Copies of this chain bind each other. A is one copy, B any other.
Amino acid sequence: MIMNAEIINIGDELLAGHTVNTNATWMSKELKNIGIKVIRHIVIADEKESIIMALDQVARGTNYIFITGGLGPTEDDRTKAVITSYFGGSLEFSEEAYKWVEEFFAKRGRVLSERNKGQALIPNNAERIINKMGTASGMIFRKNEKTFFVMPGVPYEMHNMMKESILPELAKYSKVITSELQINTFGLPESEIADRIMDVMPDIERDLSIGYYPSVRGITIRLAGNDKFKVKKAQEKIQDLLGNSVYSLEGESIAEIVVNLCKEKNLIVSVAESCTGGSIADMITNVPGSSAVFKEGYIVYGNEAKTKLLGVDPHILKEQGAVSIETVEAMVKGLKNKTGADIAIGVSGIAGPDGASPGKPLGLVYLAVAYKERIHLQKINFDRGRIKNKEYAARAALNRVRLALIDDE
């Protein structure tokens, strides 16, 4: 039996464009992993009519409805009362829930305020879901063979309820029917990837679905099908076709791949960041356990810092400019000397919105990676605004390290 789900996210903040709906994304992924297919997301306002209309309009074939939002202690949350009365019940004060809220506050050294006492009002027609991370209980309503799970909109509270109470229970009844694999690439454009794949695998569409997902992280290719051996075969074939532009088959970040390669080879990596301003180090240190391979890094944002900390010759900065091959080359040489790191990364560029000059447009970045006797150099032109430019340059630098380390083998 295929199990279908719909996700209803209630919140004015979502419709007003203040908050990105990461809840729908997270839930969709978790549900897919246990074989439940999400067929629709709906976002509506925290008001009675919209909530009732959404509950009325749930499609016939849907087994599970996941509702988030509107259970908090503040005045703008109306969901609990509306949903309880939709299913014919009413809210009652629960001694048990009250104790729970009181203890929750006590543990954090806070006093239970009048406002938070409302969290102890519980529907008399629902099963309660314990909230370990906050004070608003979750609720389960059942009607006409459909199950409605109602949870707070605060992501980590919802995650905890899903992981501890809901997903393990649903997994018992579901059966995973599709097999899905991915291929993460960096450096090739979408149409070239599609061309290469389609030239060699004209029949891929018959058995498998294939999707291309471009972002600043590169292009991710996703394969899905009912025959897990065919999906695996296709993944291997595509990996061969795309060569070393494939950095992962499991969705790890390039930073994770680089940290793991460094661990395997027992190498220390260091960074000298100008335009990326700390984002390479930030990506590396987002990886748990990265402290084994990353010990120190330098953000050399000004020209003086490049000279003072890394010994970059002021003549190079004056004549070639801070954004030049010569500068990044001098940065990594200086960094290697100073730190003794096995791998030195240097990046300098024009993140924007100011700083462009003739021949040096916004988004121009030079990067250098020193490893063993070689310095790998790369020029990038990528202009999608300051923050994306920084991120792309950081990923490109980490990708260059990856390529240097796998060439080595």
Flag whether A314 is at the interface (Cβ < 8 A). Answer: no
Copies of the protein in its oligomer: 2
Q: Is the CB of B296 within 8 A of A302?
A: yes
A18 touches B29 (CB 8 A): yes
Contact in complex: B44, A29 (CB < 8 Å): no
Among candidates B42, B215, B285, residue contacting A41 with C-beta atoms closer than 8 Å? B42
CB distance from A8 to the nearest CB of B (A): 11
Find out whether the CB atom of B76 lies under 8 angstroms from the CB atom of A212: yes
Known A76-B211, A387-B286; judge A297-B299 contact (CB<8 A). Answer: yes
Contact with B along A279-296 (1 / 0, CB 8 A): 111101110111100111
| CB-defined contacts of A290 to chain B, threshold 8 Å | 277, 301
Q: Is the CB of A289 within 8 A of B354?
A: yes
Complex Cα–Cα for A276 and B280 (A)? 12
| Cβ B299 vs Cβ A198 within 8 A | no
Contact at B296–A301, with CB atoms within 8 Å? yes
Closest residue of B by beta carbon distance from A53: B59
Check B38–A24 contact: CB distance below 8 A.
no
Residues on B with C-beta less than 8 A from A387 are 286
Give the CA-CA distance A262 to B387 in the complex, in Å.
21
A73 at interface, CB cutoff 8 A: yes
Kindly list chain B residues whose C-beta atoms are within 8 Å of the C-beta of A30: 17
A74 neighbours in B (Cβ, 8 Å)? 190-191, 194, 211-212
- The answer to whether A19 and B14 have CB atoms under 8 Å apart is no
Q: Which one, A81-89, A110-118, A121-129, A162-170, is touching chain B?
A: A110-118
Q: Which of B190, B297, B302 is within 8 Å of A291, CB to CB?
A: B302
B residues less than 8 Å from A194 (CB atoms): 73-75, 115
* Chain B residue with Cβ nearest A285: B277
A295 with B304: CB separation less than 8 A: yes
**Least distance between A273 CB and chain B CB atoms (Å):** 8
Write out the residue numbers on chain B whose beta carbons fall within 8 Å of the beta carbon of A351: 285
Check: A386 CB closer than 8 A to any chain B CB: yes
Mask of A21-44 contacts with B, CB within 8 angstroms, 1/0: 110111111111000001111111
Interface size class of A (residues with CB under 8 A): 35 or more
**What is the CA–CA distance of A296 and B26 in the complex, to the nearest angstrom?**
37
Residue of B nearest to A309 (CB): B296
Q: Is A300 an interface residue (CB 8 A)?
A: yes
* Chain B residues whose C-beta falls within 8 Å of the C-beta of A75 in the assembled complex: 194, 198, 205, 210
Please state if B192 and A113 are interface contacts (CB–CB under 8 Å).
yes
Contact A189 B110 (CB under 8 A): yes
Task: Say yes or no: B286 contacts A291, CB within 8 Å.
Answer: no
A319 to B345, CA, bound (A): 34
Find chain B residues with CB under 8 A from A43 CB: 24, 40-42
Contact A214 to B17, CB < 8 A, known contacts A75-B198, A282-B277, A297-B301: no
A66 contacts chain B at the CB level, 8 A cutoff? no
Binding site for B on A (CB under 8 A): 12-22, 24-32, 38-45, 50, 57, 72-76, 110, 113-116, 154, 156, 180, 189-192, 194-195, 198, 205, 209-215, 220, 222, 271, 273, 275-282, 284-286, 288-291, 294-302, 304-305, 308-309, 351-354, 384, 386-387, 390
Query: Nearest 4 pairs between A and B by C-beta?
Result: A277-B285, A17-B29, A278-B281, A17-B28
